[in-house]
Amino acid sequence: MPGAKAKAAKAPAGRPAKTLKPKPAKPAAKSRYDPIAPERVKDILNRLDERYPNVTCALHHTSAWELLIATILSAQCTDVMVNKVTPGLFQKYPTPQAMAAATPEQLEPDLRPTGFYRNKAKSVVGASRGIVEKFGGHVPDEMDKLLTLPGVARKTANVVLGSWFRQGVGVVVDTHVHRISRRLELTRADDPKNIEQDLMKVVPQPKWIEFSHQIIHHGRSLCIARRPKCAECPLENICHAADKTWSTVEIHKTAQP
């Protein structure tokens, strides 16, 4: 202890007393916090199950093809808006064949409210043509085949495979999953491809479909992008995100917004 006098040992008569060296202080114990420890991930999953039981895809659809088209339209757009647009769209173009026979320009007015409508029109017509020409009018139930369709990346393919075919072959990474996985320190990546890879390592495979649905609901209701509602959040005392609005736990130096 700095400033404390060293204790003098009792010496036998006739010998000089030895001075005992003060013991060096023990180094501070290293923090054992591991954000991807299986027990922490399990805790997160249990709390999500309790808060968001039986959640499903919010995009209205009656077939794999409708879900695929709705998912393409949902990029940079709310599901509520997509659900307003798709009933009229599917009335005009009720099958992949009908949409494949249209031109993107014909669809543009219908898709305008969803934003980026020129690109989206090209994608949905292109995807419908691919389904008709390569897969006999049926949406394939394999990742590799889905990824050959124009406008279909892993996110859309995972939505269709998970929500329609009930195949958890990946994790849907949309804007909510992207943001919240980082806030919960389940990944440090900042691009959907690597975030998905990280999540596939820490979330048990049977939970992949449900996990993304639950996180998407969480992102809409509480863990919103600006000013998340941390005081109402069931994950609050195990969340160390840098941009929490209220916290009962230490915010770690490595925490991310």
Q: Residues interacting with ligand SF4, by CB under 6 A?
A: 183-184, 222-223, 228-230, 233, 235-236, 239, 241, 244
Question: Is 174 designated active site?
Answer: yes
Cα–Cα distance between 121 and 129 in angstroms, integer?
12
**Which residue's entry shows tokens 């419908």?**
128
Name which of 132 and 186 has its Cβ closer to ligand SF4: 186
Question: 69 or 180, CB closer to ligand SF4?
Answer: 180
Q: Considering the complex, state which of residue 73 and residue 235 has its C-beta at the smaller distance from ligand SF4.
A: 235
Q: How far is the CB of 171 from ligand SF4 (least distance, A)?
A: 17
To the query of whether residue 155 is one of the catalytic residues in this protein, the response is yes
**Minimum distance of ligand SF4 from residue 213's CB (angstroms):** 16
Query: Which candidate, 167, 228, 2, 1, places its Cα nearest to that of 239?
Result: 228
189: enclosing H helix or E strand = none
Least distance to ligand SF4, CB of residue 163, Å: 23
Among 216, 213, 185, smallest CA distance to 199 is for 185
Our CB check for ligand SF4 shows the closer of 170 and 219 to be 219
Residue 125 falls in which region: left (phi positive, over 0), alpha (psi -120 to 50) or beta: alpha
Nearest distance from C-beta of residue 238 to ligand SF4, angstroms: 8
- Report in angstroms how near the CB of residue 235 gets to ligand SF4 at its nearest: 4
Taking CA atoms, 237 is separated from 38, 150, 177, in Å, by 17, 43, 20
Angle at 214 between CA 190 and CA 167, to 5 degrees: 85
Identify which of residues 120 and 182 has a Cβ nearer to ligand SF4 in the complex.
182
> Which of these, 232, 211, 186, lies nearest to 46 by C-alpha position?
211
Which of the following is catalytic: 110, 174, 207, 244? 174
Calpha distance 73→119 (Å, rounded): 10
**Of 79, 110, 120, 155, which residue is the catalytic one?**
155
> How far does CA 242 lie from the centroid of its chain?
17
Q: Which residue has the tokens 């709390």?
A: 47
Residues classed as catalytic = 155, 174
